[in-house]
Each structure stands twice: as structure tokens, then as C-alpha cells.
Amino acid sequence: MASITKSHDQLHVFFFPFMSPGHQIPMIEIASILASHGVKATVISTPQNVSRFEGTINRDDQQLINLLLFDFPSAAANLPLNCENLDTIPSRNLSYNFSKAIMMLQSQADDFVRQYQPDAIISDLNIPWTAEIAQKYGIPRLVFHGTCCFSLSLSMAASLHKPNVQVNSDKEPFLVPGLPEPVYITLAQMPDRFFGNTGLEEFFQKFIEAERHTHGAVANTFFEIEPEYVKHYEKVTGKPVYPVGPVSLFNAKSIDVADRGNKPSVDKDRCISWLDSRKPNSVLYVCFGSICESAESQLLEIALGLESSKASFIWVIRDHRHGSGEFLQKDFEERVKDRGLIIKGWAPQVLILNHPAVGGFMTHCGWNSVLESVSAGIPMITWPLFAEQFYNENFVLNHLKIGVAIGVETGLAWGEEEKNGVLINRDRVAKVVTQFMNGNDEVEGMRKRVRQFSETGKMAVGQSGSSYINIGLLIDDLLNQKEKRLSE
């Protein structure tokens, strides 16, 4: 592990998290990890976003995390006031405006880098202009993708070899060549479908260009869960990859776990008390992420399927259209009150997953959720919605073998979820949940495997573990880059 003891040798790293929960949360934790190893970490964000995580970093006065605030250009981008995070935009039709606002932050960021002279930048891939700034000031830029090396490798292979061009059916599986093992996907599962006609193509092109001027990648994964794909992604990019996760295991303080990402919409003690009253492995946790807006008809089918299953459950209804739960039948909550807890808003997910009463996770397969489930030793019911989530599902089902599929075959188009209507009916929900939660030899095998991965993940972040070592290698790399720059 790198040791930084002299102030003039101290490494100063700027962090640029993308303003979306699934990207922001792990980036802040990576900043905290590096800060705990003596790195001076500066997080650049906006007032509304900082309010979500400032309490956590302020609770540990040993950390060296500084905050710099952007003046977010809401008006100039034709966004509502205080609309500074992807989960706060009132309509997906404003996604172009949000991306435009992100691009307009470049000049402020340039001023910050010129004034504070950091030694390196770690940036979300959705903020491509950080590559230009890093080039301008002669410092390395590392990218944070927010997903696993399997999905990154699959995306690159599909883009390079274009095996989909000869496929006529949306649901016909085809082999993606150039990977360490045979991987099959369908057209309907490819991420492009999600973005539809949002006009974001120009921004995606900037992401690709930024990759050419990037020193390497920092990943929220751990080597042991996907060794062949970490190596493969390094090989195809020709750049170093530093797996430093699972970052959710870094801070085990219960108050920080409860507040992780945002203030929870349910009292932590009430939630724990409810779980304490349940038998081990008897509760299904249901959550589809922070930016999903499923059709009301689909949410109603989920509700009735959960009711019919007779399983105990915690269901998080998070998005701003359905957070009130008005789509539910009036007496639904009364009917399931003895075995169902409905959280309308933000939930303390890591806290819930690590409770002994939780025995399964119905998830949209966002990588954070997958890795948090693995870290807690919880098998999954996979229900991918968009972006690379079908790739993550593929990894969970076919590579790790720690989940069962709900059976959804096609992704949603952002902002057009109502058009999809019901993809999975209540009978299918009830059948999968009942079989999964009642357990059988197959499910018990998944439970055993995921617990082994959980133990391996905990070892990875512990002293002398692979992720702990990679943190040191990352720091050494950036110190070497600094020393080389100063000697020129």
C-alpha cells in the first residue's frame, strides 16, 4: 500500500461524479476510500447533490475530502430550478437539456483545475470534457463507468464485431465473439433501445472521444468475481483497470449505511424492527432503482403478484410519478399489512439487504444493486429494464449462477415506459416469487454460491485483499505520474 506522509508529496485528486444516484454514490465512496489512505480528495458537485452526501463525509473528521460547488446552469439549459440530478428531472424529454447543462459546466471546472492544480482527475464517463481539461493541464484522467468489466467487455465486443447486423428477430439470441467465454444476447437486450429518440447521440460520441485520452479506469467491482473480464478489458483497452470494490463495504457505520445516497423515506429503526419480526431468509426485497418509471399497469401487476405469492416483502416505490402509490388498489396496503412493508421514496438498501430476514432481492440489475446483493450474500430475481442491465442479468444468471429471471425479454425506451404496458403479469410474478422464496435445491445452490462471493468480496476490501492492494497500486501509479510530470 502506498504511504503518503509528507505534505509536499501528498496526492491531490479531483472527483467528478455524474449527477445520478447510481453513479454518484459509488464515486463518493471511492473518494472516501482514497482519502482514508492519505490522498487529498476534492469532490466537485452542485449544492443540491452535495446535500445528499455531505453529512456522511463530515461525520469522519479524519478524512481529507474537500467540496467545490458548481453553479448549475438550470435556466440556461431550460431546466426547472434545483433540477440538478437525473432523478429529479420531471420528464425524460428533458434528458437532452440535462446533458446540455452537464456540458456547460466545463468552463467552471477548468477554472477549478487551474486554481487548485490537482495531480489527477477521476471522472464519470458521462462527463467527457474532463478528458480535455486533463490534457490541457497535463494530468492523468481516469474514468469511472459504474458497471462491471463483463458488461464493459460485452459492449465493446458487440460494438467492434457487430454480430447483430445479420439478425432479423428482436428476440433471436446471437453469439458475441471476442470474449473469454461464449455469450449470447438479443437485439431487444442491447442498450441502444433504452435511449430511443432522446437526441443524445452527440453526447455519446463525446464519451468515445474522451476514452482515447484517458489514462485508465477505476471500477466498483472486485477481481475475484470476474478475473477473466478484468484482464480482458485491460487487454482490449490497453489501459490499466483498478477494481477497488465492493465500495459499499468500505463504511460499515449504521448511520452512514442508512443515509447512503440520500435521506431515507422510512425511519431506520422502524424498518429494522419490522425485519426483526421476520424469520431468516423469509423476506423478498423489491426495488427497481432510482430513475425507473414503469407503467402503472405493470406496477399493479407486481403488487397483485406479490400479494398472491403469500411471501413477506419490502417493496420500494421510488420514482416521482408513482412515489405516492396512487396506482395501488385502495385497500392493497391493508390487505398485505401483516407481511408487506411499502416504502414510498428512498430506502436504506444496504441496511435492508444485510438483515438476516432478507432472503432474496427482486432487482432491475443496476450494477450497484447487483454488487450490493452479492456483498450481502443475497440471491436475485432479475428484472432488467434498460441500459446495460440485461448484460448484468446475463452475468448474474449465466456466469455467477446466483439468480433466476423473471422472464422480461425486452428493454424499456426512456420516457416511453407507458407504451410498453405489462411485460410480466401477476401470475408470473406470483409463480417466480413463490418458487424462489419457498426454496428448492437450485435456489439453495444459488444461496451457497452468493455467500461464497460475499465472503470473497469482504476479503477483497480487507487489508492485503485484492481491492485493498489495487487502491495502493492506483495511488502509486498517480504518484509516479506526478513525479514524472514534475521532473520534466
Q: What would the 3-class secondary structure string for the chain be?
A: CCCCCCHHHCCEEEEECCCCHHHHHHHHHHHHHHHHCCCEEEEEECHHHHHHHHHHHHCCCCCCEEEEECCCCCCCCCCCCCCCCHHHCCCHHHHHHHHHHHHCCHHHHHHHHHHHCCCEEEEECCCCHHHHHHHHHCCCEEEECCCCHHHHHHHHHHHHHCHHHHCCCCCCCEECCCCCCCCEECHHHCCHHHHCCCCCHHHHHHHHHHHHCCCEEEECCCHHHCHHHHHHHHHHHCCCEEECCCHHHCCCCHHHHHCCCCCCCCCHHHHHHHHHCCCCCCEEEEECCCCCCCCHHHHHHHHHHHHHHCCEEEEEECCCCCCCCCCCCCCHHHHCCCCEEEEECCCCHHHHHCCCCEEEEEECCCHHHHHHHHHHCCCEEECCCCCCHHHHHHHHHHHHCCEEECCCCCCCCCCCHHHHCCCCCHHHHHHHHHHHHHCCHHHHHHHHHHHHHHHHHHHHHCCCCHHHHHHHHHHHHHHHHHHHHHHC
pLDDT number for residue 386:
85
Range ranked top by mean pLDDT from 219-228, 243-252, 295-304: 219-228
Q: How far apart are CA 352 and CA 346, in angstroms?
A: 12
What pLDDT is attached to residue 415?
64
pLDDT at 258 over 90: no
pLDDT greater than 50 at residue 307: yes
Tell me the range of 287-291, 385-389, 396-400 where mean pLDDT is highest: 396-400
Q: How far is CA 474 from CA 36, 139, 241, 401, in A?
A: 14, 14, 9, 31
What per-residue confidence (pLDDT) applies to 330? 75
Position 235 pLDDT exceeds 70: yes
**29-43, 52-66, 161-175: range with highest mean pLDDT:** 29-43
Average of per-residue pLDDT values in the chain: 88
The answer to whether residue 265 scores a pLDDT higher than 60 is no
Is the pLDDT at 259 greater than 90? The verdict is no
pLDDT of residue 13: 98
Average pLDDT over residues 230-234: 98
pLDDT at 438: 94
In terms of residues, how long is the chain? 488
Confidence of residue 481 (pLDDT cuts 50, 70, 90): very high
Report strand pairing: 358-363 vs 283-287: parallel
pLDDT at 198 over 60: no
331 vs 196, higher pLDDT: 331
65: β partners = 41
Q: Does pLDDT of 194 surpass 70?
A: no
Its pTM stands at 0.92
Residue 275: what are its φ and ψ, rounded to 5°?
-65, -35
pLDDT score of 151: 97
Alpha-carbon gap, residue 488 to 119, rounded angstroms: 15
Average pLDDT value for residue range 51-77: 81
- State the average pLDDT over residues 355-370: 97
pLDDT(400) > 50: yes
Question: Please, is 25 exposed, middle or buried when counting C-beta atoms within 10 Å of its C-beta (0-12, 13-18, 19+)?
Answer: buried
366 CB-near residues (< 8 Å, 6+ apart)? 22, 289, 389, 392
pLDDT at 133 over 50: yes
* Residue 94 in this model has a pLDDT that exceeds 90: no
pLDDT of residue 5: 39
The per-residue pLDDT for 4 is 39
* Dihedral of alpha carbons 331, 335, 336, 338, sign: positive
433-455 confidence digits (pLDDT tens): 999 999 899 999 999 999 999 99
Q: What is the mean pLDDT of residues 473-482?
A: 97
- pLDDT confidence band for 240 (50 / 70 / 90): very high
- pLDDT of the residue at 263: 55
**Does 320 score more than 70 pLDDT?**
no
pLDDT band at 488 (very low <50, low <70, confident <90, very high): confident
Residue 213's pLDDT band (boundaries 50, 70, 90)?
confident
Residue of higher predicted confidence among 87 and 1: 87
- What does the pLDDT average to over 193-212? 68
The predicted pLDDT at position 60 comes to: 56
- Centre a 10 Å sphere on the Cβ of residue 267 and count the other Cβ atoms it contains: 11
Q: How many other C-beta atoms lie within 10 A of the C-beta of residue 281?
A: 17
Look at 5-9, 55-59, 73-77, 145-149 and tell me which has the smallest mean pLDDT.
5-9
pLDDT at 252 exceeding the cut of 80: no
Q: Once rounded to an integer, what is the mean pLDDT over residues 119-123?
A: 98
Q: What is the pLDDT of residue 109?
A: 98
Facing residues of 219 across strands? 243
What confidence tier does 205 reach under pLDDT thresholds 50, 70, 90?
confident
